[in-house]
């Protein structure tokens, strides 16, 4: 069953200040976006020595149609392990938050096998992300390997987690705004603080907001932390249609600011 794109309020929390049925990224989309932006991970294999123990190793990674691909040496322990038993998992995790457990992470499980020939699409995907690997990609002891994802566990921080189905994983795509999100958020908070208040008042229930900051943006909408009489509250606002480029994002935000200023739009 495909995952619902609608966020749900947590039990025991105050009534949300926005329509929780508006479109949000699915967990599959969030997970695909996360892994697309992180070029390293922890590859876990079943050890030869000591026999059968989980063996974790740091690897560089890229993605080919949703499957992790690696360029690894035949001399590495994880390669020897995979040659005996292909079962493996890859953990890709965010870093940087003050609370490490608030970071997002994705674990992908499935069989991992060597890619025959020159590597084909796996080679192209890997060298696009890791161009410096080109100088040793053709060494005799190196080869491309692909983990065929069968199970996916997504954790987006506290209270946001699920197992993602294979069909949803393969159908999802990384958010096209992800590479530009940090810059857009910084710009909006630095130069358009007044617009944040307008967005809250015009497009959510946060009518008593005194200030707000943008905390996230994706193809479907953006999220803010609104300062209210009851303290900071989350607010999400949806775009009229998905946006996929920085230019489309700017145009959508400008149009929404103009709409928010129309007579009778803001209480």
Name the one residue in this structure whose structure tokens are 């197992």.
163
Q: Given this model, what pLDDT does residue 12 score? A: 44
Separation CA 88–CA 150 (nearest Å): 11
Confidence bin at 201 (pLDDT 50/70/90): very high
Q: List Cβ neighbours of 114 (8 Å cut-off, separation of 6 or more).
A: 143, 144, 145
Q: How far is CA 223 from the centre of its chain?
A: 15
Q: Given this model, what pLDDT does residue 71 score? A: 98
Q: What's the pTM value of the predicted model, to 2 decimals?
A: 0.89
pLDDT in tens, 11-48: 446 789 999 999 999 999 999 999 999 999 999 999 99
pLDDT in tens, 167-200: 999 999 999 999 999 999 999 999 999 999 999 9
Do the bridges between strand 54-60 and strand 62-64 make them parallel or antiparallel, or are there none, so unpaired? unpaired
Residue 161: pLDDT over 70: yes
The domains of the chain, with CATH numbers, are: 28-171 (2.30.110.10), 176-260 (3.20.180.10)
């Amino acid at each position: 069953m495909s995952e619902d794109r609608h966020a749900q309020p947590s039990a025991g929390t105050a009534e949300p200040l926005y329509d929780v049925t508006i479109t949000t990224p699915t967990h599959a989309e969030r997970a695909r976006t996360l892994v697309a932006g992180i070029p390293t991970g922890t590859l876990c294999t079943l050890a030869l020595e000591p026999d059968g123990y989980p063996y974790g190793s740091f690897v560089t990674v890229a993605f080919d149609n949703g499957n992790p691909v690696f360029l690894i040496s035949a001399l590495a322990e994880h390669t020897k392990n995979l040659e005996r038993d292909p079962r493996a998992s890859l953990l890709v995790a965010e870093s940087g938050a003050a609370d490490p457990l608030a970071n997002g992470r994705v674990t992908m499980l499935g069989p991992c096998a060597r890619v025959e020939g020159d590597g084909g699409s796996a080679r192209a995907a890997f060298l696009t992300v890791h161009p410096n690997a080109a100088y040793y990609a053709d060494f005799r002891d190196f080869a491309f390997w692909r983990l065929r994802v069968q199970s996916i566990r997504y954790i987006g921080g506290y209270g946001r987690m699920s197992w993602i189905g294979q069909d949803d994983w393969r159908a999802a795509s990384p958010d096209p705004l992800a590479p530009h999100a940090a810059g857009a958020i910084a710009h909006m908070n630095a130069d358009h603080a007044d617009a944040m208040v307008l967005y809250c008042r015009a497009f959510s229930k946060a009518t008593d907001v005194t200030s707000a900051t943008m905390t996230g943006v994706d193809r479907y909408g953006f999220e803010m932390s609104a300062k209210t009489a009851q303290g900071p509250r989350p607010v999400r606002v949806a775009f009229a249609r998905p946006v996929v480029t920085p230019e489309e994002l700017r145009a959508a935000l400008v149009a929404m600011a103009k709409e928010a200023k129309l007579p009778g739009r803001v209480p």
